[in-house]
């Protein structure tokens, strides 16, 4: 038995969906442990593209159990829509292969209004959230006003909790945010049928995981967002509202740290970011535009254009430490084909000095300039390459340099969006 966590090392969209879909082949269980439908994870199988926001990216394998852990915040309407969309495309989804933790918190209509209202109020100081109500839902969880799935499927508890919270939310929405308000009765009418439909999916996910552990099954934990969007370790306040790092796989799913054997850090071969916030290697030139176009860098959730820049090894090294990475999965190497010269940021300069590590203070980070190392590019199309030795020499040198800078071995190289456009150097489930 071997259990693997997959997390993003940058600012999200590193290709977690693709790699989880590939690794799911070997696992029996795939579990999400944080975030919500702010995530957009893309899987491409036989030329068909699927984007998953809440359902774990193992769902396209018919025999895998997909779990949504207690650490995830769930918009029930989105979950039901995602189930229906998959079913309409011939994917089997039911309580036999998809369970939601009874402790997972519910995203309510007022969370979305609060998210939008706060962003509007901030004007040009906005964070650029996905507007899905993620932050306000986690806020209610921490201030002990949230509604969990076990409350949701018990109509009496649900109604009691709702009638306590709606007046407070409306006060804030109406009087502070000058926003539209919510109507308790309409929420009940909308949400009670959702609860009935989802009831068979609600389970004690921690218990289900412990049974899988006892059976010796391989378990794959699927992170969302990326380490630099983590609420504690990211570029605060330009972050999401959950812990996106590997350590949260335990808290957010209900297992202990001794059950994690490998942590795979997803690295895009360059860097992207959606939404606002510092981004030292961001490019505002033709090369940035080229990465954006060739990489089709549009948000899988909001459709926003992703900001693009060179690979930042300071960022990845920071993630290697915070997550105790055992391996790297690098994606989108194919997008770099055709660039004469590539740059990797190896350090930051701040007021004339080299900074040894990624800084926490936003003002310092914003004033940092990247120190680049240049490497020669390659011109070959590499999407059909199945073996590392068949990669152009300069592509191999680029990978080796990243490994050196981050002091972590590359285990997977992705050269295209499709399931089979993957070079497996070391299977994470075979790691000791």
Burial of residue 47 (CB within 10 Å: 0-12, 13-18, 19+) is exposed
Out of 10, 13, 130, 308, point to the residue binding Mg ion (CB under 5 A).
13
Query: Does residue 246 touch ligand IMO according to CB under 6 A?
Result: no
Strand partners, 342: 375
Q: Which residues from 18-57 bind Mg ion, rule CB under 5 A? A: 40
Q: Are 113 and 173 in contact (CB under 8 A)?
A: yes
Between 264 and 335, CB nearer to ligand GDP: 335
Question: To the nearest whole angstrom, how small is the minimum distance from the Cβ of residue 42 to Mg ion?
Answer: 7
The residues of the shown chain that bind ligand GDP, judged by CB under 6 A, are: 8, 12-18, 40-42, 44, 300, 331-332, 334-335, 414-417
Query: Does residue 135 touch ligand IMO according to CB under 6 A?
Result: yes
Out of 97, 179, 240, 408, point to the residue binding ligand IMO (CB under 6 A).
240
Question: To the nearest whole angstrom, how small is the minimum distance from the Cβ of residue 227 to ligand IMO?
Answer: 11
Active site (annotated) includes residue 13: yes
Q: Are 272 and 11 in contact (CB under 8 A)?
A: yes
- The one segment of 231-239, 277-285, 296-304, 413-421 that binds Mg ion by CB under 5 A: 296-304
Between 238 and 310, CB nearer to ligand IMO: 238
Q: Which residues from 289-318 bind ligand IMO, rule CB under 6 A? A: 300
Burial of residue 194 (CB within 10 Å: 0-12, 13-18, 19+) is middle
Q: Are 14 and 330 in contact (CB under 8 A)?
A: no
- The one segment of 11-19, 78-86, 95-103, 157-165 that binds ligand IMO by CB under 6 A: 11-19
Query: Does residue 71 touch ligand IMO according to CB under 6 A?
Result: no
The Cα–Cα gap between 390 and 112 comes to 49
Closest Cα partner for 314 from 266, 353, 370, 239? 370
| Residue 251 Cα distances to 175, 248, 255, angstroms | 36, 5, 7
In sequence order, which ranges of 143-285 are alpha helices (DSSP H)?
A: 149-152, 155-171, 184-198, 205-215, 248-251
Query: Does residue 385 touch ligand IMO according to CB under 6 A?
Result: no
Q: Are 267 and 10 in contact (CB under 8 A)?
A: yes
Out of 300, 316, 336, 413, point to the residue binding Mg ion (CB under 5 A).
300
Query: Does residue 248 touch ligand IMO according to CB under 6 A?
Result: no
Q: Are 331 and 241 in contact (CB under 8 A)?
A: no
Active site (annotated) includes residue 41: yes
Sequence-separated (6 or more) residues with CB below 8 Å from residue 97:
59, 62, 63, 64, 65, 66
Site map 213..232 versus ligand IMO, x via CB under 6 A: -----------xxx--x---
Between 400 and 420, CB nearer to ligand GDP: 420
Closest residue to ligand IMO, judged by C-beta, is 275
Between 114 and 229, CB nearer to ligand GDP: 229
In the DSSP assignment, the letter for residue 258 is G
Between 44 and 231, CB nearer to ligand GDP: 44
Between 59 and 212, CB nearer to ligand GDP: 59
Closest Cα partner for 423 from 411, 409, 413, 408? 413
Q: Which residues are near ligand IMO by CB under 6 A?
A: 8, 11-13, 38-41, 127-130, 132, 134-135, 224-226, 229, 240-241, 274-275, 300
Q: Which residues are near Mg ion by CB under 5 A?
A: 13, 40, 300
Catalytic residues: 13, 41
């Amino acid at each position: 038995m071997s259990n693997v966590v997959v997390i993003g090392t940058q600012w999200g969209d590193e290709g977690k969906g693709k790699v989880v879909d590939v690794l799911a082949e070997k696992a029996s269980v795939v579990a999400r442990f944080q975030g919500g439908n702010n995530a957009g994870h893309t899987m491409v199988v036989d030329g068909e593209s699927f984007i998953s926001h809440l359902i774990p990216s193992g769902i396209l394998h018919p025999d895998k159990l997909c779990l949504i852990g207690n650490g995830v915040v769930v918009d029930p309407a989105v979950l039901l829509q995602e189930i229906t969309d998959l079913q309409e495309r011939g994917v089997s989804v039911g309580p036999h292969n998809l369970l939601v933790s009874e402790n997972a918190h519910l995203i309510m209509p007022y969370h979305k209004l609060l998210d939008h209202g706060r962003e509007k109020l901030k004007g040009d100081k906005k964070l650029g959230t996905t507007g899905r109500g993620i932050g306000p839902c986690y806020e209610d969880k921490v201030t002990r006003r949230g509604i969990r799935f076990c409350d949701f499927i018990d109509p009496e508890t649900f109604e009691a909790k709702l009638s306590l919270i709606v007046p407070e939310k409306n006060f804030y929405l109406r009087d502070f945010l000058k926003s539209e308000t919510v109507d308790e009765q309409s929420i009940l009418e909308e949400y009670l049928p959702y609860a009935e439909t989802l009831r068979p999916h609600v389970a004690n996910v921690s218990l289900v995981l412990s049974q899988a552990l006892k059976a010796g099954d391989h378990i794959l934990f699927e992170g969302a967002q990326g380490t630099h969007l983590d609420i504690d370790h990211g570029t605060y306040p330009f972050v999401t509202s959950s812990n996106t790092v590997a350590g949260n796989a335990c808290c957010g799913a209900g297992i202990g740290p001794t059950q994690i054997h490998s942590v795979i850090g997803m690295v895009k071969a360059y860097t992207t970011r959606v939404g606002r916030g510092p981004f030292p290697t961001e490019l505002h030139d033709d090369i940035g535009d080229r990465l954006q176009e060739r990489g089709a860098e549009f948000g899988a959730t909001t459709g926003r254009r992703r900001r693009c820049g060179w690979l930042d090894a300071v960022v990845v090294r920071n993630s290697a430490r915070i997550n105790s990475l055992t391996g790297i999965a690098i994606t989108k190497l194919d997008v770099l084909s055709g660039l004469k010269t590539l740059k990797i940021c190896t350090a930051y300069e701040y007021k004339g000095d080299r900074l040894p590590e990624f800084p926490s203070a936003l003002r310092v980070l914003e004033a940092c300039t990247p120190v680049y190392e240049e490497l020669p590019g390659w011109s070959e199309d590499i999407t059909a390459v199945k073996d590392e030795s068949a990669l152009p020499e300069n592509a191999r040198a680029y990978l080796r340099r990243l490994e050196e800078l981050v002091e972590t071995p590359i285990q997977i190289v992705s050269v295209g969006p499709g399931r089979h456009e993957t070079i497996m150097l070391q299977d994470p489930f075979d790691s000791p």
